[in-house]
A and B are shown apart, each in its own frame.
Chain A
């Protein structure tokens, strides 16, 4: 596609439920990143994929968070047993190889009630 696409754009869930967030990167981009952003704040790194492998998972906040990427393209971020503190905007970004320009999606606004 022309840009990074994320779905859903908004997700409201109840505490304790599992949620799955999807990211479609720009075609041909081998590197994919997940970030989390609290209201009006900077970005917190979660995980990075190079192809289908995740060499850096250091930012995942807890074992309730997991992510996978298949076919070197689509990625899903799964949050199990959601907590209120998980409420944030989850941003996905991709880039072509070693080039450092990141292209971001519009994010998924997650609200845990």
Chain B
């Protein structure tokens, strides 16, 4: 069974601070996705990383895929209250049709 562990589980910070969320596994994934989910809604895809060592930037969000494709990180610069939500990583492996989701990081950005 492939497992993805996210840390921290909960994070509460002040507006303007920086933060990093981690997603780790002992398994290799062909690609890894990050989603954000707001209360009462389904997860929405933020980014997909495919290549080991790949770095993608989405405005104030920076995503990195580990060289061995077993881990990933999400860094948010100058967090804003609108960044509040549940952040989920999800890994895809070659033959499996479904994504394996991490347990999530609940981020709260206080004004």
Contact = CB atoms under 8 A, between A and B. Distances in A.
Contacts of A105: 42
A33 B63 CA distance: 26
| Chain A interface main SS type | strand
Chain A interface category by residue count: 20 to 34
Contacts, number: 56
A45 interface: yes
A101 B43 CA distance: 11
B43 A100 contact: no
A2 to B, nearest CB: 14
Contacts of A106: 40-42
B62 to A, nearest CB: 20
A43 interface: yes
Interface stretch (B51-59, B69-77, B97-105): B97-105
B98 A42 contact: no
Interface of B: 4, 6, 31, 33, 40-45, 48, 86, 88, 90, 92, 97-104, 106
Closest 6 CB pairs of A and B: A104-B42, A43-B101, A42-B103, A42-B101, A45-B98, A42-B104
Interface of A: 4, 31, 33, 35, 40-45, 48, 50, 55-56, 59, 91, 93, 100-102, 104-107
Given A45-B100, A93-B42, A104-B43, 8 more contacts: A4-B42, A42-B88, A43-B88, A45-B101, A56-B98, A59-B98, A102-B45, A102-B99
